Amino acid sequence: MSGPPPSQQEIIQKYKQLQSDCTQFVTKISELEVERNEHDLVIKTLAPLEGDRKAFRLVGGVLVERTVGEVLPSVTENRVNLNTVLENLTKMLDEKQKITLAYKNEHNIRTQEEAQQDAKAQQMAA
């Protein structure tokens, strides 16, 4: 048996939490896209260089001297991993957005903007 129905405040609080979760996904996706673009730039820069040429890589806050031949495969692998993580996060975001929309529709939640649009539509109709 389920308990008493949630109060208006609990419904709104849960909706805000769902929206917050979506915002966190969007923020993380944006951060990772920037990181992926940086990897693309590094790969584009290193690709035409000879493999035995010096290259420096930041590892745990320490700049380490390596060769292009050592660094390029590692950076390329990291980029592939970033793509995988981005795909997964995007799928999770889509799912969370669907859940949020279903919750909003289930509880007939109207945002302030939607309420204002409805009011304008009613004024235009009158």
Q: Stretch 74-85: mean pLDDT, rounded? A: 97
- 66 by Cβ neighbours in 10 Å (0-12 / 13-18 / 19+) ranks as middle
Q: What is the pLDDT of residue 2?
A: 64
Q: What are the phi and psi torsion angles at 53 (to 5°)?
A: -75, 145
- Report the alpha-carbon distance of residue 122 to residue 87 in Å, rounded: 42
The CATH code that applies to domain 9-110 is 1.10.287.370
For residues 3 and 113, the model is more confident at 113
- Report the alpha-carbon distance of residue 56 to residue 75 in Å, rounded: 12
pLDDT at residue 79 above 90? yes
**pTM recorded for the entire structure:** 0.82
pLDDT digits (tens, 9 = 90+) for 11-54: 999 999 999 999 999 999 999 999 999 999 999 999 999 999 99
How many other β-carbons are positioned within 10 Å of the β-carbon of residue 85? 15
pLDDT at residue 112 above 90? no
